[in-house]
Amino acid sequence: MHTISTEILINASAKVVRAAVLDFESYPEWNPFVKKVKIISEPEPQSVAERPQAGSQLEVIVLPEGGSQKTFTTEVLVNTPERFQWIGTLVSTWLFSGRHSFDFTKIDDNTTKLIQKEEFVGAFVPLIKYALGGTEEGFNAMNVALKKRVEL
């Protein structure tokens, strides 16, 4: 397993931080790393407030600084007030998968600790982990941009 984990304190409520992370349509306005997230399928239609639900498929486009754009299809595993998590796989989970999570920890009513993390597992991890250059920097850049966006 290979893990990349970043965290940041944001002067906004966990509800506000989570809402900004789940506002995929606004990503082009502020997100320097994740350029696009689009819901491509859902188990059953939901209200906007409940989207995306577990089982939804997402198309995720990332652009690491100095790197090339990458497009992934992922499946939402968890969407709760405390955590949003998806998994992406390469061929199958035993070859390579990445479990990406955003954890929203309430410090107080106006402070949230955001932990953005990805855990990579599978037989290809030793080969592919060197191709993940720029990922940690991308997470940090996204965290800082998110902080600026919600601390208006």
Q: What is the pLDDT of residues 37-51, one digit of tens each?
A: 999 998 876 655 567
Domains of the chain with bracketed CATH:
2-150 (3.30.530.20)
From edge to edge, which strands make up the β-sheet containing 83-90? 2-10, 111-121, 92-108, 83-90, 70-79, 57-62, 34-41
How far is the C-alpha of 8 from the C-alpha of 114, rounded, in Å?
5
Distance CA 103, CA 82 (A): 6
What digits encode the pLDDT tens for the residues 69-79?
A: 989 999 999 99
What are residue 19's DSSP bridge partners?
A: none
Read off the pLDDT of each residue in 130-149 and give the average, rounded to a whole number.
89
> What pLDDT, in 10s, does the model give residues 80-131?
999 999 999 887 787 888 999 999 999 999 999 999 999 989 888 877 766 6
The Cα–Cα gap between 103 and 31 comes to: 18
Supply the pLDDT for residue 48. 58
